[in-house]
Structure 1
């Protein structure tokens, strides 16, 4: 019931952990017409502390939480539900319950599931080529967004779109572009989501194409995809990317020091 019972956050934990009977237990008792439990404070005083992580790496929070668990009288609650997860749980319940709520009210309190995939193209001339991808997503009932993001005409929009993809709960991006086809590579450089490019591949064979003679990128792409179910990969990928950045910075400094005439490419 913790997902569905509305309460002010801080006072909510007071009525969950600090009282003789949790508000959720009393809520169920009320629904089932059972006697309500005591709401008396079971301790002489109580305090709540919010610990907010700075990344997707749970280690920094868990290190602190593990010490709290060993403290007498301390209760640790790990919160990790996004709005989209709450909405996806809430919508079926609201639909099933007898109610006089209108369709507009249902959408307001439990909106439809947000897009999980993205289909982007460099210009509208690419639409006929990109549409089969959209049709597949439709067939599997996967929510997605389809739009135009030009690497050459709207570079600022491309940067904003790619860097906000993860925070908007997208999980993968399909990028199609003609001409010089810079769109997929530029998007992939600014997001940790798996990016797929459309090349000359046989229909029905899902291949995420990489450069010729670049099996390293194939391995990295596999890591990018697998990280969705392996939390520590988020931090590992971030460290890897920072390592690449560091290597380039070293080369830039050396080039400035010796000049391009004496610079040796290794």
Structure 2
């Protein structure tokens, strides 16, 4: 699956406010691609392309999208603007940028007015946004639940493997290279 190109069957729309946000979102996009989740990626700005951002959100559901992920830094109005124009769930990803390193973006995303909610993940947490979007998809399609179950199983196995290594070699040897 090539997540770099827009698809007609996309379930998740990922919108970034600037191309400089793409590296932050890359690990989440790679995960969606690995899991075979159809998605599209757009660069749209709440301030520089407000009409196009509104059009994207207004037509998202009729295009088949189920969830929108919106990443933006500093004022981070993009997630809120998209949420104002759609009834689909919007997940905001605050991007660390500017003097406040993403705190301003986080506050902008989580302090939405009543009636226009935006979910938020942590600063630069593009991967968590992708996982949350798939969790939302899994509510109506068990295919995605299987992907989530396998992911969590792999996470648990990795932690247990590290614990076994630590117990075998002790903390000093682990710190000196006993880790993967």
TM-score (norm 1): 0.34
Name the structure, 1 or 2, with higher relative contact order (CA <8 Å, separation 6+): 2
Q: Give the structure with the higher percent strand.
A: 2
Richer in helix (by share): 2
